[in-house]
Structure formats: C-alpha cells, structure tokens
Amino acid sequence: MTNKNAVYPGSYDPLTNGHIDIIERGLRIFEKITVAVLKNPQKKYLFDLEERLEILNHTFKNNPKIEVDCFEGLLVDYLNKKEITTVVRGLRAISDFEVEFQMALMNRRISPDVETIFLVPSVNYSFLSSRLVKEIYQLGGEIRQMVPELVDRKLKEKYRL
C-alpha cells in the first residue's frame, strides 16, 4: 500500500498553530491527512468533542486535502478501518521523544504494518502545547499568534476574558 494518506491523531484540546504547522508539513508528503480527534472517556478535556471537531472543521473547511474525523479505542483499529497505515505525529522537544517512541513501537507491535512519521515544527511553535495555551488564557493572558482566531475567541469565552 502506498502512503497517499496519513492519519494525524491527537487530543486537539484545543487546536494550536503548532498542530496546523505539522499538518501543512505533512501535506508536502501526503496527498491527504485525516486529523483524527481522540475520544477518551477517561480524560478530562476543556473543549468537548463537538467543540474540538467544530474548531477543526471550521479551520480546514476550504482544504479538501484535510479530513476531520474522530475515533475511540485503539488507534490501530481506527487505522485498519480507514485502510491507512501511516501515522503522523509532531516532535517538539526531547521531552516528546520518550512517549512518542513508546507509542510508535507499541502500535507497531499490535499492528506491524503501521509506520509512524515524526515531523518537526517551526521553531516558533516548538515550545507550544495545548496545555500551555490553556494555562495562559486561564491566567488572563492571550497568545494570538499561537492559535487560530476561533480558538482565541472560544478560550476567551470559556475563561470570560
């Protein structure tokens, strides 16, 4: 199977310009990228699934090369269902490496066809995370160049800024 399509899985709670940077880089390699939002009932999110999907759908509505979807359970089962074998993940710092390495090897163990491709973001976003964005807004700050306009608006609504 050729790697025309790839899945970029994540929480996207919320989408940041770092994620967008990785998607744009991914589209230089793949014809289509499916941004797949993880539904994890164990995890507490600031934005519920509908909101996370709404943000992604709104942001990528004009790009037919980007599909927005969600999944529950094992990533490899989702990949199987989609008949896609390539996973894209972003690598920011050494701190990402251990977790990502473990996850890539575990996915390969469960499903040997799966390959994980790591893309490195622009240095501008190499320190950026959804968690950090939420913390900054929660404390009354804003970082406009780091998130799409809709995310900025929604974060301000959530924290009544």
Q: Is 12 in the site for ligand ADP (CB under 6 A)?
A: yes
Q: Is 90 in the site for ligand ADP (CB under 6 A)?
A: yes
Q: Which of 5, 11, 34, 59 binds ligand ADP (CB under 6 A)?
A: 11
* Spatial separation of the C-alpha atoms in residues 159 and 151, rounded to whole Å: 12
Q: Is 96 in the site for ligand ADP (CB under 6 A)?
A: yes
Residues of span 102-141 touching ligand ADP by CB under 6 A = 121, 125, 128-130
- Give min distance, CB of 60 to ligand ADP, in A: 15
Residue 8 and residue 33 in contact, taking contact as beta carbons nearer than 8 Å: yes
* Spatial separation of the C-alpha atoms in residues 5 and 65, rounded to whole Å: 9
The per-residue DSSP string of 12-71 comes to -TT--HHHHHHHHHHTTT-SEEEEEEEE-TTS--SS-HHHHHHHHHHHTTT-TTEEEEEE
CB of 54 or CB of 96, closer to ligand ADP: 96
Residues of span 45-84 touching ligand ADP by CB under 6 A = none
Residues of span 21-40 touching ligand ADP by CB under 6 A = 22
- Positions that interact with ligand ADP (CB under 6 A): 10-12, 16, 18-19, 22, 89-90, 92, 96, 121, 125, 128-130
